[in-house]
Amino acid sequence: MKAISSMATRHVLADLAAAAEAAGLPAVELESVGGVDAGRRVAAGERVDLVFLADDALRALARDGHVRADTVTPLLLSHVAVAVPAPEDAVAVATGRPAFDDVAALRDALRGARRIGYSTGPSGVALVALIAELGLDDELRDRLVQAPPGIPVARLLRERRVDLGFQQASELVGERGVRLLGALPAAVAIDTVFSGAVATAATAPEDAAAVLAAFGDDTAAALIVSHAFDVPGGH
């Protein structure tokens, strides 16, 4: 069966699919693209069985009848983290702590950066809104660099096109040439829930529903956490 997802979830979904297949469920052919592009393709009627996107985007597709509303299942909780360039042989690892002690320290780091990288999709929109809330939108506007759809912020950091980067932690962990500082301070945390649903155009809806259920069961939790995600609701 075919599935489409945003780039942020591609690694964990691939592992979840492999685990489900090992348990006897149908194999999943997963294509990961920019979240906006994935939503457009599903809305245009592309024939896929499963769709994995940010929860709000997926529910919008459900309202328009492109995915089955009764199957929308929150699966992953992602936190936006902060990173900087590192030597090419360095590999980003999760820190388990905030990148900055408080919002004031974050504000100082933003003001001190020459170029600031951020991603497309909901987390990028939220970061721009946060910068405005901090009163820095005019000061930083010309220093913001949005990664093109499908291009990770880690690449901008590795290529030294930015010196401070913001993206979901799951997209930064394991990347070379990047040092992960940690998550945003709790007071301004940017979290995204990613959900899955069976597409209205699914050719095998019952099989798709079974795979989706496996992605959300208790045995999948450890795999999800290993990819620097949390499970929505803390289950």
Residue 86's contacts (CB-CB under 8 Å, 6 or more residues apart) are: 92, 177, 178, 179
Please state the rounded mean pLDDT for residues 152-178: 94
Reported as a single tens digit per residue, the pLDDT across 191-216 is 999 999 999 999 999 999 999 999 99
Mean pLDDT of all residues belonging to the chain: 94
Q: Provide, rounded to the nearest whole percent, the portion of the chain with pLDDT above 90.
A: 82
- Please check whether the two domains, 2-76+193-227 and 78-188, share a CATH topology: yes
| 93 bridge partner residues | none
Reported as a single tens digit per residue, the pLDDT across 18-61 is 999 999 999 999 999 988 899 999 999 999 999 999 999 999 99
Which CATH architecture describes the domain 2-76+193-227?
3-Layer(aba) Sandwich (3.40)
How far is it, in rounded angstroms, from Cα 68 to Cα 198? 6
Class of CATH domain 78-188: alpha beta
CB 194 within 8 A of CB 76: yes
What backbone phi and psi angles, to 5 degrees, belong to 38?
-60, -45
Work out the pLDDT band at 235, boundaries 50, 70, 90. very low
91, pLDDT greater than 60: yes
Work out the pLDDT band at 8, boundaries 50, 70, 90. confident
Q: Tokens for 226?
A: 């290993």
Instruction: Write down the pLDDT at residue 234.
Output: 59
* pTM of the full structure: 0.79
Residue 50's contacts (CB-CB under 8 Å, 6 or more residues apart) are: 1, 2, 3, 4, 28, 196, 197, 198, 199, 202, 208, 211, 212
Enumerate the H helices of 90-186 as residue ranges: 103-112, 122-133, 137-140, 153-158, 169-172
Tell me the C-alpha to C-alpha distance, in Å, between residue 74 and each of 23, 90, 113, 121, 198. Answer: 21, 33, 35, 17, 13
Instruction: Write down the pLDDT at residue 95.
Output: 84
CB 184 within 8 A of CB 98: yes
Sign of CA dihedral 205, 207, 211, 214: positive
Reported as a single tens digit per residue, the pLDDT across 96-122 is 789 999 999 999 999 999 999 999 877
Domain range summary for the chain, segments of one domain joined by +: 2-76+193-227, 78-188
CB 72 within 8 A of CB 52: no
